[in-house]
Amino acid sequence: MLTIIIQPIGLFVEITIAYRDNKVTYEVESMCTSGEAMTTYVNYHLQILNSIIMAKKFIITKDKFIMGNVGYHADLASRLNKETLPVLGGGRWDVDKDEKILYLWGASVDYGFAEPGQIRKALESEETFISPSLDEFKVLHSSIISDYIPDKETFTELLILKQ
């Protein structure tokens, strides 16, 4: 849950923005705390916090591939029913629409590394919904663990998505 606390402290105002284990606290001179200026300031820092905690992540089960823009891989798993579990692994993703490539890489802190063969099986499963906008996209995988997309030469092709 996202929490915002604005608290006057002498000549300053303390703003705390928290989401799960991530917390950012700022002190602002009270001269800057008119309603409109404060709203702008808080919104700016919410955007920073959002970029820190939200990321394009995926998880796989034995017969599903699920991706989204979430804070934690567990946020994706929380949408699954018990019959779909356990989660076998996860990582990060990105799309290059011009080149028609879906990049998958890394690992999940919550569930570990998703083996390429397991990813392929989950993507090919009838239980996995693939957006029509990704039809005919090449799926590339890298085992590099990083918050950011690794160098292109570290990727290998897994498959081409078909509707």
DSSP state of 34: S
Sorting pLDDT into bands at 50, 70 and 90, what band is 35? low
Full domain range(s) for residue 46: 2-53
Q: Provide the pLDDT for residue 31.
A: 54
State mean pLDDT over 48-69.
83
Same domain, 141 and 76: yes
Strand partners, 102: 95, 139
pTM confidence score: 0.70
Q: How confident is the model at residue 66 (pLDDT cuts 50, 70, 90)?
A: very high
Token pair 């796989």 in the structure block, residue: 60
Total structural domains within the chain: 2
Cα–Cα distance for residue pair 127/129, rounded to 1 Å: 7
Q: Domain check: are 30 and 81 in the same one?
A: no
State residue 121's pLDDT score.
95
Residue 88's pLDDT is: 96
Give the model's pLDDT for residue 99. 96
In terms of domains, do 48 and 60 share one?
no
43 and 65 co-located in one domain: no
pLDDT given at position 162: 86
Percentage with pLDDT > 70 across the chain: 76
